[in-house]
Amino acid sequence: MTTIQPTQNTVALTIKHLTAADYQTTHDAMLARTLARIAAKADGQPTPDELWIVEHNDVYTLGQGGKEEHILQHSDTPIIRTDRGGQVTWHGRGQLVGYFLFDLNRLGWKVRDLVDVAEQVLVDTVTPYLAPDYYAKPRADAPGVYVYHTDGHELGKIASLGFKIKHGFSYHGIGLNVSNDLTPFNLINPCGYAGMTMLRVVDFAPTNLEQVAQDFITQVQRRHICYQ
């Protein structure tokens, strides 16, 4: 675990790495940590923000508004209903998951700021791996990050996001496809969108989860500091 120490007008950011992580166990730990931070702040004891870098074991998760109809076919992969926003998605080995345990009020962020920062971090993480004929950007009608050809054609979705806010503290976060198998997405309507094509970073350039995770951490650190 790495801690970025605060300087003037900045807030410490702790980086926590979890691999082969059980989803429910990780969720429960994330919620417990958020509740502890809320209590500590109420007692006048602020705590560092945290970025959790996670590689989950295979799992489907349904957000608060998730509809069972978006699960097209059941398999041996567990399905867990959770408290984040959004519909159904998949997490598993080779996918980078980043959980943003942030004190939004201390940062001066609204929920829209959090979403904008997360999407821009993803764009800045993915872009160096794309050839000049491609670019990444969010979609106004569907949260996440998508890859386009310069002729404007959308190739598909490379990253998803969903958050939960409790008393001004965020948790949950993003899922970026790096080197994972994409076939589990064929059994669902990803994020509630039928026929959504899913992409990976390795579809555009050779890399690995560790390298992309470090790039992602660097981008989060930059954005976390610049908003102070």
**pLDDT on residue 1:** 47
Known binding residues for substrate: 84-91, 160-162, 173-175
**pLDDT on residue 84:** 95
Report the percent of the chain where pLDDT is more than 70.
94
Provide the domain limits for residue 189. 16-226
In this structure, is residue 182 part of a structural domain? Answer: yes
Report the percent of the chain where pLDDT is more than 90.
85
Q: Apex CA 101: angle with CA 9 and CA 58, to 5°? A: 145
Q: Judge whether 191 counts as a catalytic residue.
A: yes
**Residue 21 backbone phi and psi in degrees, to 5:** -90, 130
Please tell me which residue, 2 or 76, carries the higher pLDDT value. Answer: 76
The residue whose two tokens read 């800045």 is 124
Confidence bin at 10 (pLDDT 50/70/90): low
Q: Are 71 and 187 in contact (CB under 8 A)?
A: yes
In this structure, is residue 84 part of a structural domain? Answer: yes
Count: domains in the chain: 1
CATH number, domain containing residue 162: 3.30.930.10
| Catalytic pick among 121, 191, 217, 220 | 191
**pLDDT on residue 9:** 43
Range 207-211 average pLDDT: 98
